[in-house]
Amino acid sequence: MTSKSSSWTEKSNSQLATALRRKWVIGLCALCSFLYFPIGLVVVLVGARGRYISVAEYPFLRLDAVMVNAAASWIGTTSFYCMLTIGLAMVLAIEGYRYLYKKEMIDFYEATPEKRSKRFWRIFLNGILIHSVTLIAGMILSLIVAGGFGIFRKALYLETAYNFIELTILFIGIYSLCILGAIVSGNVIIAILSGLFLISVEFVFRVVWTMCKSQYFATYYSRSLFGSFFTSPVYNYLCGRTGMADNKVYRISRLIEHIGDSWKYNINTIIIAVIAIAIAYFAYKKRKNEFAGQSFVFRIAQWIVKISVAVIGGIFTGACLDLITNGAVAVMFMGVVIAVLVLCLVLEIVFNQDFKALFKNFWIMPVCAVAAIAVILGFRFDVTGYELYTPDPSKVESCAIYEEYSDYTYYDRDLDIITSEDYFCDNMRLGNVEAVRKVGFTGQERRSQYFRKYVGLNPAKPDTYDESYYQGYEKILLYRMKNGKEVYRRISIPYTINETLMDEITSDQAYRDVLFQKDEVLMDKIVSDADNYRLSYSTGMDQLEGDGSLIKGFYDVYYKDLETYKYSLAVKSKPTGYVNISPFIYDYGKNRNYNQSFIVFPEYTDTVKYLKDNGVYLDTPIRKEYIDQIYITHDMENKGTEGEESTYETMDHTYTDSKQIDEIMNNIAFNGLNYEWFRNEKLDYKYTVTIFLDHSKKSYYGAGPYYTDFWKDSVPAFVIQDLS
């Protein structure tokens, strides 16, 4: 026991002695932690309270929720201290091993009885200790400050504790990479550049790679901006960085969700740190003291940096020139060669600290230039077949077809809004892989053809555009592979797509129930709180309202009618309006913020009957008894003879006859018409219908006037005759 106690005391004294020799670094870490956590939190909370007072007329905002969310956003898992953590990790790494850059300091340390390996790990652990202690101190002070503002939440304490774990893991990841950079370098400047290189090289590469994909591939799509990273602790920290505060409610369940989303990324950072520090330790053992003061201690490190920077710089330059010059090959070639040449020359001067070394290792230049040009040409000619790639159906588990930005609002089971893309990707699992693959390939082919003809390199002039270029549905296609991978493509489904094929996909219950969010748990929550909700029927020009008692019955008939939903119905039918379910008063603290719309087609007979029976259905976009007159204009094009420009003429007519008004109202579309598989060509935009209301009456949305269009091929004969 005495031996173990003595050993622990010796190690503690060693760490303390090491820390005392690094006073300015300790001071810097303590200052950053103090200014950000307790001082910064005071500023944030005072500001949050002030903003609450300025908008206190909104009853659904509660001061305690506002203050807790403000505190969590500053000191919880969404804090910005990660930026300071990155900087401090670099400082502690380079400062800890700075003695390796001066022969006098090396001789001093080598003269001590301490082994080199022990010295390496002592400095390594001391940096982690300094950062951790100052971070904990700042966080504890911030929680005391929060208590001074009346914030006592177990959830906040837990999230702050977990944020400490994540920030520590981030620190160790950056710290280990910067130590590796410091070990392979011969002076402070190169050590800083090496650290920045190791932290950012993959990020820069992926930025350039993603730029090339989006520039050359019409069907490229990725949910994350630059894809997944393998060597970036910063990326791993930011992934799943949602926290528990979302300006609505604050719950421990959100921390559990966050841990579930982020743990694998934290494991990745730990793996990166272990690999980096293992390589750094190996290099430290092999490092020769006579290299102190030079640029790189190991030639292979110099080559890796030079080749990486030159090739990435060449690819970036070539892609930019391709974009600027619309694919001028000669200019691209010349630009790549010049960029690689300049980068190699500058790096060689920096590495050797001598202008005379300008052309040293010249052989690397042509190799890098050829590699960069080969990559650019590979993208230009799609040598991998990326654009039209479709996976083997036998290797696909399920699929999804969705709109990137849907007009519908989706909620999780806590009644918090989630993005439509997150909802579709998590829930839409189409089993008819072969039908999806056929539609997907058609959409990929169409998008590829039109992209290369009108958008990509050497595009056609706008006046030569084929009208069908605009006639398609822009969608995202997702294949979930059985091996766990996900394949995304951006597609453009033409209006001429086979309806039978589309019906196979859209009539699938897995498609319908997700598109219209048939979630029994969610619906039960709304029904149980129906007294605080209302059900309304809207056309964008008029609206009828009912109370929450109608919601359950509506759900029953609507989702029963939804069994008839399919692509051909959505394309051919003329919807009559929307049913909207919303709270009387929004109260985020009580999860009372559900606001959902449901489009109503005339084929939904049970739904229409239910709405009519309960007095919340409009037969026309505006109640006819409200209308005073209807004014219609018709824009006509008079095509000129050869060599002459076309002229345009507008005819107009006002209708006051009740029978004519009735027929017009039965053939116009309602306002806000936009739904899944809607086509603009369903409307006749040559006629503009303006509805004026009786001065003594006004609809739900006011006195008007209201503007709309006729359905295609539904213009009454008398209107055509009057406006010919």
Determine which of 50-54, 267-271, 619-623, 665-669 has the lowest per-residue pLDDT on average. 50-54
Structure tokens at 68: 């807790």
* pLDDT > 70 fraction of the chain, expressed in percent and rounded: 87
> What pLDDT sits at residue 640?
57
Contact 173, 272 (CB under 8 A): yes
- Which among 622, 670, 633 has a CA at the least distance from the CA of 655? 633
**Taken in order 23, 25, 28, 30, is the CA torsion positive or negative?**
negative
> What pLDDT sits at residue 208?
92
**pTM beyond 0.85, yes or no:** no
Structure tokens at 562: 């939804």
Contact 77, 39 (CB under 8 A): no
Phi then psi for 516, rounded to 5 degrees?
Answer: -105, 20
With tokens 């007519």, the residue in question is 653
> What pLDDT sits at residue 376?
93
- Which among 296, 421, 438, 319 has a CA at the least distance from the CA of 376? 319
Contact partners, residue 416, CB within 8 Å, separation at least 6: 246, 248, 249, 591, 593
3-state helix, strand, coil in the chain (%, to 5): 60, 15, 30
Could you report the per-residue pLDDT of 454-467, keeping only the tens digit for each?
A: 666 555 555 555 55
> What pLDDT sits at residue 58?
45
Could you report the per-residue pLDDT of 442-458, keeping only the tens digit for each?
A: 999 998 888 877 666 55
Residue 248 pLDDT > 50? no
Burial 699-714 (b: 16+ CB within 10 A, else e): bbeeebebebbbeeeb
Report the C-alpha gap between 140 and 162 in whole angstroms.
13
Residue 4 pLDDT > 60? no
Report the C-alpha gap between 592 and 634 in whole angstroms.
46
Report the C-alpha gap between 89 and 177 in whole angstroms.
9
- Tell how strand 472-481 and strand 683-693 pair up: unpaired
Q: Is 415 helix (H, G, I), strand (E, B) or coil?
A: coil
Report the C-alpha gap between 49 and 69 in whole angstroms.
11
Could you report the per-residue pLDDT of 557-614, keeping only the tens digit for each?
A: 999 999 999 999 999 999 999 999 999 887 766 677 888 999 999 999 999 999 999 9
> What pLDDT sits at residue 243?
44
**Taken in order 408, 410, 415, 419, is the CA torsion positive or negative?**
negative
pLDDT (mean) for 415-440: 91
Report the C-alpha gap between 51 and 54 in whole angstroms.
5
pLDDT (mean) for 234-260: 64
**Could you tell me the pLDDT band of residue 641, with boundaries at 50, 70 and 90?**
low
- Tell how strand 706-711 and strand 683-693 pair up: antiparallel
**Could you tell me the pLDDT band of residue 12, with boundaries at 50, 70 and 90?**
low
Report the C-alpha gap between 85 and 233 in whole angstroms.
11
Burial 532-549 (b: 16+ CB within 10 A, else e): ebbbbbbbbbbbbebebe
Structure tokens at 561: 């009618």
Residue 278 pLDDT > 50? yes
Structure tokens at 706: 């209201």
Q: Is 219 helix (H, G, I), strand (E, B) or coil?
A: coil
The string of DSSP codes covering 130-194 is HHHHHHHHHHHHHHHHHHHTT---HHHHHHHHHHHHHHHHHHHHHHHHHHHHHHHBSSHHHHHHH
Residue 433 pLDDT > 90? yes
Contact partners, residue 510, CB within 8 Å, separation at least 6: 428, 429, 430, 431
Best mean pLDDT range from 3-12, 166-175, 286-295: 166-175
> What pLDDT sits at residue 449?
84
Report the C-alpha gap between 538 and 616 in whole angstroms.
9
Report the C-alpha gap between 54 and 33 in whole angstroms.
31
Contact 388, 448 (CB under 8 A): yes
Contact 212, 27 (CB under 8 A): no
Report the C-alpha gap between 637 and 61 in whole angstroms.
55
pLDDT (mean) for 466-483: 83
Report the C-alpha gap between 339 and 346 in whole angstroms.
11
Could you report the per-residue pLDDT of 668-688, keeping only the tens digit for each?
A: 888 776 788 888 788 888 899
**Could you tell me the pLDDT band of residue 327, with boundaries at 50, 70 and 90?**
confident
386 vs 678 pLDDT, higher one: 386
* Cis amide prior to 705 (ω within 30 degrees): yes
CA 460 to chain CA centroid, nearest Å:
32
- Other Cβ atoms less than 10 A from the Cβ of 372: the count is 26
DSSP 405: S
Contact 718, 634 (CB under 8 A): no
With tokens 């799943």, the residue in question is 240
> What pLDDT sits at residue 477?
95
Q: Is 265 helix (H, G, I), strand (E, B) or coil?
A: helix
Residue 471 pLDDT > 70? yes
> What pLDDT sits at residue 246?
44
Contact 186, 98 (CB under 8 A): no
- Other Cβ atoms less than 10 A from the Cβ of 156: the count is 25
pLDDT (mean) for 715-724: 89
**Could you tell me the pLDDT band of residue 650, with boundaries at 50, 70 and 90?**
confident
pLDDT (mean) for 364-393: 92
Structure tokens at 22: 């690094």
Phi then psi for 354, rounded to 5 degrees?
Answer: -155, 120
Could you report the per-residue pLDDT of 34-58, keeping only the tens digit for each?
A: 999 999 999 999 988 887 776 654 4
- Which among 132, 141, 139, 197 has a CA at the least distance from the CA of 171? 132
Report the C-alpha gap between 475 and 472 in whole angstroms.
9
159 vs 489 pLDDT, higher one: 489
CA 95 to chain CA centroid, nearest Å:
37
> What pLDDT sits at residue 245?
40
> What pLDDT sits at residue 226?
60
Structural element, H or E, at residue 655 = strand 647-655
Structure tokens at 424: 């579709």
Q: How large is the C-alpha radius of gyration of the chain?
A: 33
Report the C-alpha gap between 97 and 86 in whole angstroms.
17
| Axis-axis angle for helices 2-20, 116-148 (nearest 10) | 80
- Which among 677, 393, 680 has a CA at the least distance from the CA of 507? 677
Determine which of 100-114, 321-335, 654-668 has the lowest per-residue pLDDT on average. 100-114
Could you list the beta-strand ranges (E) of 486-595: 486-494, 533-538, 543-547, 577-583
Could you report the per-residue pLDDT of 334-364, keeping only the tens digit for each?
A: 999 999 999 988 888 877 776 766 667 778 8
Q: How far is CA 196 from CA 90, 94, 270, 274, 558, in A?
A: 9, 12, 19, 18, 58
Q: Mean pLDDT of all residues in the chain?
A: 85
- Other Cβ atoms less than 10 A from the Cβ of 57: the count is 6
- Other Cβ atoms less than 10 A from the Cβ of 401: the count is 23
Contact 172, 236 (CB under 8 A): no
pLDDT (mean) for 259-278: 89
> What pLDDT sits at residue 427?
92
